[in-house]
Structure 1
Amino acid sequence: MTDVVADALATAASAETARIVSTLIRMTGDFTLAEDCLQDAFAKALVDWRANTIPANPGAWLTTVAKNRAVDVLRRAAAERRALHRIAREPEEPVKAEMPEGVSAEALTHPDDRLSLIFTCCHPALPMDARVALTLRTVAGLSPAQIARAFLVTESTMEKRLVRARAKIKNAGIPYRVPPESRLIERRDGVLAVLYLLFSAGYSATGDDSIIRRPLLAEAVRLTRLMVELLPADAEARGLLALMLLQHARSDARTDSAGELVTLENQDRSRWDAHAISEAIHILAGLQPGPGRYELQARIAACHATAASPASTNFEYIARLYGELAAIMPSPIVELNRAVAVAMWQGPDAGLAILATITGLDDYYLLHATRADLLRRLGRADEATIEYQRALELAPTDVERRYLARRMRDARQR
């Protein structure tokens, strides 16, 4: 029997966790306290909603309960400090729960808590892996287990990494705020990288039976818009926004009515979001072509988005763009994507030749899935089956495993 309360709570948590946590961090200046208060609110919701009824606005209910819990904790701490002051006969100092030490007035008045939260998580004082992990945990709401899988480490290792990152923010007095204008550019690259990872976490979900987590996609797009507002002349921020819009535009067509995966070549293009594509093309038209990594990826996505059919897609141009991207961002993933484009342009053998030069992706399921697909197209069913089997072992979701199993059966039947 479906647990209606648990389902409602899970839906609210998916949509509201980042907003509530960022609000609590603004209030308290304490990452751990913020997460603890939210968990307390979830626990209270399971009891209260079952005893009474699910509120009309679950997100607002959770926010209120979590904030009240945070205020209670801060007041209790303040009372303890006052008691200690009296015992030591020291002058009592007023304590404001709304303005804890280390939290600036600017943070309290900034129009978007989550943007402040991202800049805090992406502070250069933190190692890059800690920045990404903390943002995925705090902003994206991924569990430590999901983040651990992405980093190829154990869950306990990831828990310790997150604890160290939170402690670093607290002990170093890292401010919870968007940096002043003079520091924005130097902080930009780190924030954009994490925003793209946040978007990717929603676009290619891990650890569940879905390939898309729409709240993460929407949140990543929204926060990137805020970055563009902060840096309106910045080509990379605008390029990233265009890239997200183009990829997000295909979301509805990536699965069929049964929730099964549909690849780009088989998608119903009438289901693509024409408004988002138009906005992205407009953004790209206003940029001078340059070496920016997000702009190049956006131009690649635009080639797919504006083609009337797979057959009319300009894969020669796409392959060239991937070559330019590889020059500024050497990566086996970029080479894998270039191999696909070359295969569509010059044939499967040309793509396989590039795949043979790629190293470091032996445990990446898409390498094996791509090789399997090219072998299947060449009629080399036995070799394709071996690669499909390896891809199946490595695929992160049931949706992708079912898709790969279907392709493997198709290859055997040829």
Structure 2
Amino acid sequence: MGARWADFQYEIYLNGMNGTVPRLPTDLTRLAELAEHRLGPGPVGYVAGSAGDGSTERANRAALERRRIVPRMLRDVRERDLSVRVLGRTLPAPLALAPVGVLSIMHPDAECGAARAAAAQGVPYILSSASSTPMETVAEAMGDAERWFQLYWGSDREVTRSFLGRAKASGFSVLVVTLDTPLLSWRPRDLDRAYLPFLHGVGTANYFTDPAFRAGLDKPVEEDPDAAVLHFLGLFGDAGHTWPDLAFLREHWDGPIVLKGILHPDDAREAADAGMDGVVVSNHGGRQVAGSVAAADALPDVVDAVGDRLTVLFDSGIRTGDDIAKALALGARAVLLGRPYAYGLGLDGQAGVEHVIRSILAELDLTLALSGHASPATLDPGVLTDEPA
């Protein structure tokens, strides 16, 4: 039997006997509004912002909400186990924390706070290239806990090679390559405030501490930080990458490689043909292409296209435990959770992130049990129905 995530609810009720209530809401959909009220629209606006008019973010939620779970009765669910096998490792639950950059705008503990929370709860933490904290520092904060590294695949091969070497040396075991951000999208919420954190040197820690990056500067970062920022912006993305270029990443990374941002089944097949190990069906939480297909609507076709050739993960729109159950039923092996933990970090540091993890996994555990499932293994598309339009 795995961890009993549902026991978190009884812990809360027992604490209530002493007059103690949770510091944060257990309904994670309330966190964004609360975080904006406490922290202000600046930092929360960057995390919450979407491409264009927000239509893709809304579509992500609608696609998950439209699908309804059909509970089954009189099944023995006393002994439950949420653990799953993902990329050759056993995870205690089908959840990892998605790469979210520039977390110092949310809380002083930044990525280290989120990473320690993930380690404490046993779920993988995916560190963003655009973190506020160097990868070595985050790795040290996590001890031996499972950690993956996300790469924004830029134009400077030497910097990419250096990043991969540093990540491997720091114990990051899986490489997650984000494909959907060769350019920043049109994001009105940021544009209306004329705010891009990178221009303020936030989210550049991995670059500013990298020897290959620093070798391309005329002056050290400390002497001319503005020039360093401009150099960063010049190499951050590369709109010229094509499928054959993945061979460079495979040459310099000997662990699993997962491509994030896949929405079309043909792209998933290309990933498998290129020798990749997994994909994340994702539209970057609606942050990149306005009017995009909802991630949950794209998921079944991607799963059907690759079968067992790739591990299929999912993100974009996950806010509740039943959302996770639906994504698993549609074929994902596990999900990545992004914005909610960033809000939890902003509201209560490491403890806030742990609250988010425990809440969503308790809700998942209870959702499965009350729907007649003792583990994710019995979930398939047949447990869902589409709500009538």
TM-score, normalised on structure 1?
Answer: 0.24
State which structure, 1 or 2, has the greater radius of gyration over its C-alpha atoms.
1
Between Structure 1 and Structure 2, the one with more helix by share is 1
TM-score, normalised on structure 2?
Answer: 0.25
Q: Which has the higher contact order (CA 8 A, sep 6+)?
A: 2
